[in-house]
Structure 1
Amino acid sequence: MLGDRFSSGNFILSNDFIVTEQQQIASLLYKYLQGSLTETETFVLETWRMQSEANQRFFEVLQNDEQVSQWIAENHPNRLQDFEERIYAKVLHKISYLRVTPIYKRAWFRVAVAASVFFLAGLIYWTNFPKKQADIIEVTNFKPTNDIEAPKFTKATITLADGKIIAVDDLTAISQSSVQLTKTADGNIVYSGNSEESVYNTLTNPKGSKVIDLKLSDGSHVWLNVGSSISYPVAFSGKERKVTITGEAYFEVVHNESIPFKVSKGGTVITVLGTHFNVNAYEDEAFIKVSLLEGSIKVMKDQQESPVMHAGQQAIVTSDIKIRNNIAMDEVMAWRNGIFKFNKTDIQSMMRQAERWYNIQVAYPKGIPPEIFTGEISRDVNLSEFVKILRYSDVRTNISGNVLTINP
């Protein structure tokens, strides 16, 4: 049953790190039995477990010391005694400090299972590298010299038509051309009223700020990600509703067939009647991504126009427009749902998100590591917890001030 050993999961996708991942997963299994896993460690173990049926079987069988012992005897009978001399004393030393948890009914059974986990983990390592000393490698507690918290409040500002800048936290109520600007109890910004004057405001949500919710005068909602801005009229008038953005925003547009809603970024214009869609247009990204969750839209780039897009599609805008189908919208909308979600994501793409969210700079003094990652983690964790994801590969990190240094 255990013949499959550890299946190579895709949390750390580089084949160079399969053995290291085995050792780390063994350590996480041990901590699982102790009941001492952190949030990140729980996520990593669960990600690994769900990668394959083999991993699931391994996870289940490792909780039965009799099956583990039987597998060792059947597969490595000649190495059992030598392995015990090398490693078992170290295992017993570790398990003597086990904290009793309510996972099983009898304490001796918990200890036996924990011993089996480390025993088998060491055997796997020793079997793969018989010329090297078999060491039990635990996931070390990362103790940064400095840490940066996830954003706890908004740092957004509104620039009024006269150039005055108001912090959203300080906003009470303002009247502009018969339009009322207010802030709700939960911090959302609301415009209400009508006006024929062309009066524009700009909402800016800087790096290191919470996502902010804006309700436009027509009732449409906009959620603005960090490092982003949106310029809009305090009241829509004329034959179109037009806003301009930088960065990333998610729109839920009120339907009005006679007055289309347009979002522009540089030479790119998205035209809708009423729909839900996300626009990622950060300057440091290679292209603009327009992802449609509901309804239909058209995307125009200079003189090129896309066909009508439907739910589940995504437009990739560079010098032209390409349409992708069957997009994983949970990944697109992860930022709105309060998580980082990665799917075969390279380290630079991950770190660009971290730079905006934690308002940091990332340095690669020894080059950019080639690893790619799949998984998710809450956006509420501190930076030190976020970078633990990287430490499950051979990537090493250091936080000093607002600079995160990454080394292969």
Structure 2
Amino acid sequence: METIETALRISYLINAHLRGTISDIEEQELQKWLTSKADNRAHFDSTYQQDILQQKMQDYQHVDKASVWRKTSDKIQNELEQQPKNKNLRQLFQKITTAAAAVLLLSLGTYYILLRQPDTQQQNEIAQTEIADLPAGTNRAILTLENGQSIDLSEQETGIVMNGESITYKDGSPILSRPEESQTLTLHTPKGGRYELTLSDGTKVWLNAASTLRYPARFNGQERRVQLDGEAYFEVAHQSNSTFKVASSVQEVSVLGTHFNVKAYTDEPLITTTLLEGSVRVINTAAQASSALLKPGQQSTLSSSGQLKVSTASTEDAIAWKENIFVFHHTGLQTILLELSRWYNFNIDIHTIPNNELYGEIPKDLPLSEVLKVLSDISGYRFKLIKDETTKEERRLLLINN
């Protein structure tokens, strides 16, 4: 199997050859690779004629490649700084152009994307299929009071604040006066929604799409407790005499004051907790003896079987959703499509999807059609939206070249 360094190098050479920018020395290097193995020439000849590449590059013209590549290159540069001995990879990285960035995103576990596309006839058939579009998610949430009253929160606002005496938007605009201190409130973001919340103790919460947070109008006593279904990032206000707890299905996170992210969707097999600052204790509530104390930069995963593991993690990746970026680093295609379904509000039968691991970063403000084009190129699969038989809306995503 080719190394990542070799794959990037050959991808660069092929791209330069087909764009007509390759040097004589680089052309010799490419020809040597093509003649080294029969498979190399076969893949090159059968899957990437020049007109196919030109059409693909035209498709990328309306994608914000500079933004995608800037974020990807920053991460690669950081990795290179930690590997000073890898001079060849550093030199190669410096040669890669912004225009080639999206083409060079790798699908881990495959040969490399430029040489593993579907055949030309299948591509032409798919190109004739009209793909329905969906806009990116936005600020949407519903606040529900204990008596059942629901309030659709403004999409022009980004969050709400619990002031004790009232509930307001972040800019001070009123929502509700004098909520009962003892009542439990529910903030829910639907698919395609996100919202921020400042609790009565000053703790800040960012709620991702398709998530629900249940919390008291005002905290009392030595414990501050909330219930999370979905994903949220917490910046907990420190109170030395009051523990802050986040409960989610079979897990509980206990802290005094810190920054962390919890991902606890019921349709995913793992509950993931990532610590950015301070310390947290993660407890498996289904087995009280199972717990772990996390340090900054560590991540715990709790499986449906009750296995609790701790590992080092990228905190930037864990909260990239909060910064409006999809980050897929060694991420299974099933997990990626679940995340997309929450942000773009569509349905998908995840059991029909292969779980290849992919690598890429995509801005979350793109419409779904552009995200699917990038995803198709880094996975080799094609997708289309159809009208759901129940809702009659274009809300179901299908894999069309299984």
Query: Deviation of residue 266 (structure 1)?
Result: 2.2
2:359 pairs, out of 374, 378, 400, with 374
Match of 2:279 in 1: 296
Query: Deviation of residue 380 (structure 1)?
Result: 0.6
Which TM-score applies when normalising by structure 1? 0.66
2:225 pairs, out of 242, 249, 261, with 242
CA contact (8 A) 2:275 2:295 kept: yes
Q: Which amino acid aligns with 2:63?
A: E
Identical-residue share of aligned pairs (%): 32
CA contact (8 A) 1:242 1:261 kept: yes
Cα deviation, 1:238-294, whole Å, max 9, x if unaligned, reads 111000010001000001111010010123111000000000000011011111010
Q: Which amino acid aligns with 2:326?
A: F
CA contact (8 A) 2:191 2:210 kept: yes
Q: Which amino acid aligns with 1:330?
A: E
Match of 2:61 in 1: 37
CA distance in 2, matches of 1:212, 1:134: 44
Match of 1:206 in 2: 190
CA 1:333–1:26: 2 relative to 1, 3 Å: farther
Match of 2:8 in 1: none
Q: Which amino acid aligns with 2:144?
A: T
Match of 1:406 in 2: 399
SS of residue matched to 1:308: strand
Q: What are the ranges of 5 or more consecutive residues in structure 1 without an aligned counterpart?
A: 9-14, 64-127
SS of residue matched to 1:290: strand
CA distance in 2, matches of 1:228, 1:207: 8
CA distance in 2, matches of 1:175, 1:152: 19
CA distance in 1, matches of 2:161, 2:96: 61
2:347 pairs, out of 348, 358, 361, with 361
CA distance in 2, matches of 1:142, 1:234: 54
CA contact (8 A) 2:139 2:156 kept: no
CA distance in 2, matches of 1:387, 1:241: 41
CA contact (8 A) 1:28 1:45 kept: no
Q: How many residues align?
A: 322
Query: Deviation of residue 37 (structure 1)?
Result: 2.5
SS of residue matched to 1:335: helix
RMSD across aligned positions (CA): 4.5
Q: Map residues 378-397 of structure 1 onto 2, 5 A cutoff.
A: 378-392=363-377, 393-397=379-383
CA contact (8 A) 2:274 2:297 kept: yes
SS of residue matched to 2:240: coil
CA distance in 2, matches of 1:184, 1:216: 12
Match of 1:149 in 2: 135
Match of 1:324 in 2: 310
CA 1:247–1:170: 2 relative to 1, 3 Å: closer
SS of residue matched to 2:186: strand
Cα deviation, 1:192-249, whole Å, max 9, x if unaligned, reads 9998x4221010011111x211000000000000110001111100111000010001
CA contact (8 A) 2:161 2:197 kept: no
Q: Map residues 12-23 of structure 1 onto 2, 5 A cutoff.
A: 19=44, 23=48
Q: Which amino acid aligns with 2:365?
A: D
CA 1:30–1:309: 2 relative to 1, 3 Å: same
Does 241-250 or 263-272 show the bigger shift? 263-272
Q: Which amino acid aligns with 2:48?
A: Q
Larger radius of gyration: 1
Which TM-score applies when normalising by structure 2? 0.67
